[in-house]
Amino acid sequence: KQEVTQIPAALSVPEGENLVLNCSFTDSAIYNLQWFRQDPGKGLTSLLLIQSSQREQTSGRLNASLDKSSGRSTLYIAASQPGDSATYLCAAGAGSYQLTFGKGTKLSVIP
């Protein structure tokens, strides 16, 4: 059974810092890995999707990498802003394309 772990559970940084969120998964037989953002009381917003054949994806200030062999993904956020404060979830896609989620990293960017 696939298990996804995200470290740290919570992170607080001053505005302007670059930061890295970590995600690990136990079964490397994944189709893709997706990063989401969740604001309090809201649904999930898709940030980046990395196919199993890819190493990384970029969107604006966000860069996500994937290393299937080691079972790891990272989300890099450049020049963080208070508006980036949210919970970030990673999810591994496998099987019937269902996603297995981690518990998330709660990010607070302090002005």
Partner 1 sequence: GAGVSQTPSNKVTEKGKYVELRCDPISGHTALYWYRQSLGQGPEFLIYFQGTGAADDSGLPNDRFFAVRPEGSVSTLKIQRTERGDSAVYLCASSLSGGQSYEQYFGPGTRLTVT
Instruction: Identify which range of 12-20, 62-70, 71-79, 90-98 contacts partner 1 by CB under 8 A.
Output: 90-98
**CA angle (44 as vertex; 59, 100 as ends), nearest 5:** 95
Enumerate residues 6+ apart whose C-beta is below 8 A from 70. Answer: none
Is residue 32 within the footprint of partner 1 (CB under 8 A)? Answer: yes
For partner 1, the binding residue among 22, 28, 52, 63 (CB under 8 A) is 52
Regarding 46 and contact with partner 1 (CB under 8 A), the answer is yes
Per CB under 8 A, which region of 14-22, 44-52, 62-70, 78-86 contacts partner 1? 44-52
Length of the chain: 111
Q: Which residue, 30 or 109, has its beta carbon nearer to partner 1?
A: 30
Number of other CB atoms surrounding residue 36 within 10 Å:
20
Cα 25 to Cα 44, 75, 80, 100, 111: the distances in Å are 20, 14, 26, 9, 33
- 105, 8 Cβ separation under 8 angstroms: yes
Residue 97 as a binder of partner 1 (CB under 8 A): the answer is yes
To partner 1, the closest distance from the beta carbon of 21 in angstroms equals 14
Interface residues toward partner 1, by CB under 8 A: 4, 31-32, 34, 36, 42-46, 49, 51-52, 89, 91, 93, 95-104
